[in-house]
């Protein structure tokens, strides 16, 4: 007997998945059942608003059901997305974790079904991200935001969405700028505004994280993105400021670091506590965790990060940014930890070096840190060196060099300290040689007679530098052959503010021209290669109309439609005649021998740049060709100048993201250049593993080379094997067994304690 319609409706009300499938196949036929379920949802919503702590039975199932079929009834569910958004924001603390996740997933489903626009979804998710306490939900929201923005900009830049999202992120950072500065040395005291500061810090932190991810994925690469992180560099919350600074320094692990960056893990203390305390699983687990954290912390400190050159170049008002950053550094000098201050110094000096800025108060501020026992002194020396450029006034650098010489280059310190001081002075003088005094230089180059290799190399490097830049400050016997010949020939030393690079063309362009000529002779060059050279280098303009309109292609057939006047014909004939006469004169001139002038050389070298548009791939190839030429010069005995040039070219290759030819990276210094060469540097993990694997060759795993089982020829048994097979009656009369049986109780206790200690160290 068939069931009635009322019975069928009752069954469908209890089975939402079945009703969902039927509605998708026939929305009009099951509209009444949907209205009934939607009214049930509305009643439960009102009950929850009156009593937020009430338990809503099957509310999550109803929300998921309506979200699935909302696209079938757009008029009836017009207010449904707004209700979900207000519910999850206003009553977030009263909802269960499962209900929160269901509401967020429902909003994402409505966005995927094109029920709500992407901007409405992102506005809700940005508000929800800082206040949620579930790590799973935070990760889900973060992935949804990044994926949605990435897909929106996949084919072309969605400028409307990007402007709205960037404005939201900028407001998230700006909202907490007036809060009280939070210290990194100790936990902030609780106050009335502590909750607001915590919430504002969380919002700003998520804004920096999302901006960093979108920049890293290549979705955003404009100045507005950089301005968001630049504002976060002045945030009162130390963790937000650290994350923003690390964005410009190029470090990816900064956001995952703990909030108390200044508190280093003392491994000696941890190992001592593990030794004296009773061995437990919880204690061993805690020690292992601290060891892992200390190893990661040390790796982050030792790693020299590559600066984010494109972001540094896109800074708006770099001079104002640097001055404001220095002001923030001096105001919070006693509030933040040393690691935090050094981090800000690194960013400040990199901006100064990239844009050739002068913040003169920085050098008087940093002098107090220039002591050989100062923590993080190598990073501070790196920061000072990379802040100097040819436009830095020498009089502000002279006290810094004097302080370095007095504190580091002195007989009362170790050889590594002397080498670091000499290397730091060399890097400063390489950028501004007029900051050095002749008397001080004479004392410093005397260390080239030192027995220590690092000190000797550093002093010789300083001597070689002044032989090139200003040999007049050296004595005649110390100048060398080339420098003496240059002085005798009247070669002038560059004065303050002068640049040795003449703007006559692109350096090494003749190498590229020769390479392309050889390639054309071999028949490998064609138009397709030139088109491929622009792949992955396209820069989209910010004008949407230009993308829609595009370029107007003009074919060769259109030449017939262009009407020229009589005057144009006369001018063209006149030009052709003049060109023909000049060609005849050039042919006659080729028969006569003449010397090539400087203008002719410049014209010959710049021919390629005037006849062809150089692609970014051409500039990358030009850098490789220059490296090859410099390597040939080194092989032929080019000296230290060629080696320094090779190092600069290698740095340019690493930082090619800053521009086509990468002109910013030679300004920066690494920590290894300050420390200098050591007698015996510690091998890294790869080198140690390679040495271990070399020792394992010729034997199986978990076996040794001892014994006859590894020898092809017949050999006798080892002493261990003989002891193992010795008869018991003979073994009990051995000296070892007798001494063990006749030993005293205290000796047995000592042996037992030694055995336990050995087993504990092995991990048993």
Maximum mean pLDDT: which of 107-121, 280-294, 505-519, 567-581: 107-121
Q: Contact 607/513 with Cβ under 8 angstroms?
A: yes
Which tokens belong to 7?
Answer: 């019975």
Q: Is the pLDDT of residue 106 over 80?
A: yes
In angstroms, rounded to a whole number, what is the distance separating the alpha carbons of residues 359 and 391?
11
**270-279, 323-332, 360-369, 402-411: segment of lowest average pLDDT:** 270-279
What pLDDT is recorded for position 298? 66
Closest CA to 262 of 186, 329, 332, 347: 186
- State how far the Cα of 319 lies from the Cα of 322, in Å rounded to an integer: 5
pLDDT at residue 425, rounded to an integer: 94
- Give the least confident one: 15-19, 57-61, 485-489, 629-633: 485-489
Write the CA distances from 705 to 691, 700, 716, integer angstroms: 17, 9, 15
Q: How many CB atoms lie within 10 A of CB 595?
A: 5
| Averaged pLDDT for residues 645-668 | 53
Place of tokens 């929106």: 152
Provide the 8-state DSSP code for 83: H
Summarize pLDDT for 241-288 with one digit per residue, the tens: 999 999 998 865 444 443 334 455 677 777 777 777 777 777 778 888
388/358 Cα distance (integer angstroms) = 9
Determine the pLDDT at residue 653.
61
Lowest mean pLDDT segment, chosen from 93-107, 375-389, 690-704: 690-704
Higher pLDDT, 189 or 463: 463
Which listed CATH number (3.30.2000, 1.20.1440, 1.25.10, 3.30.160) goes with 7-182+196-249?
Answer: 1.25.10
What pLDDT is attached to residue 107?
92
Nearest residue to 723 (alpha-carbon basis) of 736, 712, 740, 708 = 736
What confidence tier does 403 reach under pLDDT thresholds 50, 70, 90?
A: very high
Q: Are 429 and 685 in contact (CB under 8 A)?
A: no
Tell whether the model's pLDDT for residue 729 goes beyond 60: yes
Residue 86: closest CA among 65, 107, 69: 107
pLDDT at residue 290 in the model = 80
Q: Is pLDDT above 60 for 456?
A: yes
The residue among 509 and 158 whose pLDDT is bigger is 158
Residue 599 has pLDDT above 70, yes or no: no
Predicted pLDDT at 697: 75
Is residue 566 classed as helix, strand or coil in its secondary structure?
A: helix
Residues 6+ apart with CB under 8 A from 290: 265, 267, 270
Position 478 scores a pLDDT of 82
The pLDDT tens digits for 506-559 are 666 777 777 777 776 765 555 555 555 555 544 444 444 434 344 444 444 444
As given in the structure block, the two tokens for residue 710 are: 């590894």
For residue 652, what pLDDT is reported?
Answer: 58
**Among residues 384, 389, 386, which one has the least CA distance to residue 404?**
384
Mean pLDDT of the chain: 77
Phi, psi of 139 (to 5 degrees): -65, -40
CA 27 to chain centre: 52
State the pLDDT confidence band at 734, using cuts at 50, 70 and 90: confident
pLDDT in tens, 215-253: 988 899 889 999 999 999 999 888 899 999 999 988 654
Whether the per-residue pLDDT at 657 is higher than 80: the answer is no
Judge contact between 63 and 38, C-beta under 8 A: no
Say which residue, 366 or 529, is predicted with more confidence: 366
Looking at residue 54, its pLDDT comes to 64
Q: What was the pLDDT predicted at 663?
A: 42
Residue 306 pLDDT grade (very low, low, confident, very high; cuts 50, 70, 90): low
Name the pLDDT band for 23 (thresholds 50, 70, 90). confident
- Is the pLDDT reported for residue 563 higher than 70? no
The larger pLDDT score, comparing residue 349 to residue 583, is at: 349
Overall average pLDDT of the 701-723 stretch: 66
Environment class of residue 235 by beta-carbon count within 10 Å: exposed (0-12), middle (13-18) or buried (19+)?
buried
Q: Is the pLDDT of residue 738 over 70?
A: yes
Residue 665 pLDDT level (bands cut at 50, 70, 90): very low
pLDDT, greater one: 23 or 254:
23
CB-CB contact of 405 with 413 (8 Å): no
- Other CB atoms closer than 10 Å to residue 213's CB: what's the count? 18
Residue 33: its H or E element: helix 31-50
pLDDT band at 1 (very low <50, low <70, confident <90, very high): very low
* Mean local confidence (pLDDT), 615-634: 78
User: By percentage, how much of the chain surpasses pLDDT 90?
Assistant: 25
- pLDDT range class, residue 592, cuts 50, 70, 90: very low
Weakest-pLDDT range from 52-66, 599-613, 654-668: 654-668
Residues of the chain above pLDDT 70, percent: 70
**Measured at the alpha carbon of residue 189, what is the angle toward residues 245 and 186, in degrees to the nearest 5?**
50
Q: What are residue 358's phi and psi, to 5 degrees?
A: -130, 110
Which pLDDT belongs to residue 602? 45
7-21, 485-499, 563-577: which range is least confident on average?
563-577
pLDDT value at residue 399: 94
Q: Where are the domains of the chain?
A: 7-182+196-249, 315-488
Q: State yes or no: pLDDT of 642 exceeds 80.
A: no
């Amino acid at each position: 007997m068939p069931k009635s319609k009322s019975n069928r409706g009752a069954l469908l009300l209890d089975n939402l998945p079945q009703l969902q499938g039927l509605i998708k196949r026939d929305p009009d036929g099951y509209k009444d059942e949907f209205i009934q379920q939607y009214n049930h949802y509305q009643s439960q919503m009102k009950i929850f608003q009156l009593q937020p702590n009430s338990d809503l039975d099957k509310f999550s199932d109803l929300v998921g059901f309506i979200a699935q079929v909302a696209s079938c009834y757009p008029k009836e569910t017009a207010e449904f997305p707004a209700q979900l958004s207000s519910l999850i924001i206003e009553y977030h603390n009263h909802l269960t974790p499962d209900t929160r996740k269901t509401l967020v997933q429902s909003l994402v489903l409505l966005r995927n079904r094109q029920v709500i626009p992407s901007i409405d979804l992102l506005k809700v998710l940005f508000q929800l991200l800082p206040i949620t306490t579930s790590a799973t939900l935070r990760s889900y929201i973060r992935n949804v935001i990044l994926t949605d923005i990435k897909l929106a900009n996949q084919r072309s830049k969605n400028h409307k969405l990007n402007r709205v999202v960037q404005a939201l992120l900028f407001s998230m950072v700006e909202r907490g700028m007036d809060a009280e500065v939070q210290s990194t040395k100790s936990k902030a005291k609780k106050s009335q505004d502590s909750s607001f500061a915590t919430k504002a810090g969380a919002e700003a932190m998520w804004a920096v994280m999302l901006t960093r991810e979108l920049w890293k994925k290549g979705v955003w690469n404009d100045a507005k993105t950089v301005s968001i992180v630049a504002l976060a560099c002045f945030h009162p919350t130390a963790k937000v400021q650290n994350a923003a600074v690390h964005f410009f320094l190029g470090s990816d692990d900064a956001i995952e670091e703990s909030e108390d960056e200044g508190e280093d893990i003392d491994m000696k203390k941890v190992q001592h506590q593990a030794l004296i305390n009773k061995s437990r699983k919880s204690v061993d687990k805690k020690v292992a965790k601290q060891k892992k954290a200390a190893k990661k912390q040390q790796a982050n400190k030792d790693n020299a990060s590559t600066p984010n050159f494109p972001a540094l170049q896109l800074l708006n008002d770099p001079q104002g940014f640097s001055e404001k950053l220095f002001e923030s550094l001096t105001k919070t000098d006693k509030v933040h930890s040393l690691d935090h201050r050094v981090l800000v110094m690194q960013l400040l000096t990199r901006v100064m070096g990239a844009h050739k800025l002068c913040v003169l108060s920085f050098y008087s501020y940093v002098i107090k840190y220039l002591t050989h026992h100062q923590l993080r002194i190598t990073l501070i020396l790196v920061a000072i060196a990379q802040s100097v450029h040819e436009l830095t006034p020498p009089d502000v650098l002279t006290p810094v060099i004097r302080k370095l010489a007095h504190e580091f280059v002195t007989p009362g310190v170790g050889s590594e300290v002397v080498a670091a001081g000499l290397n730091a002075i060399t890097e400063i003088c390489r950028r501004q040689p007029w900051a050095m005094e002749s008397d001080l230089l004479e004392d410093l180059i005397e260390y080239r007679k030192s027995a220590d290799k690092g000190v000797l190399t550093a002093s010789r490097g300083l001597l070689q530098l002044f032989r090139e830049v200003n040999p007049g400050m050296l004595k005649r016997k110390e100048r060398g052959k080339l420098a003496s010949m240059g002085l005798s020939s009247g070669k002038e030393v560059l004065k303050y503010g002068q640049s040795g690079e003449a703007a006559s063309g692109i350096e090494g362009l003749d190498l590229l021209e020769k390479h392309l000529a050889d390639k054309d002779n071999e028949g490998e060059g064609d138009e397709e290669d030139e088109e491929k050279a622009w792949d992955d280098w396209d820069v989209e303009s910010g004008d949407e109309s230009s993308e829609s309109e595009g370029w107007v292609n003009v074919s060769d057939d259109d030449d017939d439609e262009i009407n020229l006047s009589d005057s144009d014909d006369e001018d063209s004939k006149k030009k052709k005649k003049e060109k023909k006469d000049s060609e005849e004169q050039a042919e006659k001139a080729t028969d006569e021998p003449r010397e090539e002038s400087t203008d002719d050389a410049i014209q010959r070298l710049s021919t390629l740049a005037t006849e062809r548009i150089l692609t970014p791939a051409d500039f990358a190839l030009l850098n490789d060709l220059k490296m090859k030429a410099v390597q040939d010069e080194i092989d032929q005995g080019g000296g230290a100048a060629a080696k320094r040039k090779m190092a600069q070219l290698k740095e340019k290759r690493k930082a090619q993201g800053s521009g086509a030819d990468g002109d910013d990276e030679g300004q920066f210094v690494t920590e290894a250049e300050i420390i200098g060469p050591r007698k015996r540097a510690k091998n890294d993990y790869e080198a140690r593993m390679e040495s271990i694997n070399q020792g394992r060759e010729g034997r199986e795993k978990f076996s040794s080379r001892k014994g006859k089982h590894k020898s092809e020829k017949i050999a006798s048994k080892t002493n261990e094997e003989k002891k193992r097979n010795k008869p018991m009656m003979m073994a009990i009369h051995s000296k070892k067994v007798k001494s063990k049986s006749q030993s005293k109780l205290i000796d047995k206790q000592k042996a037992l304690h030694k055995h336990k200690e050995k087993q504990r160290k092995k991990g048993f």
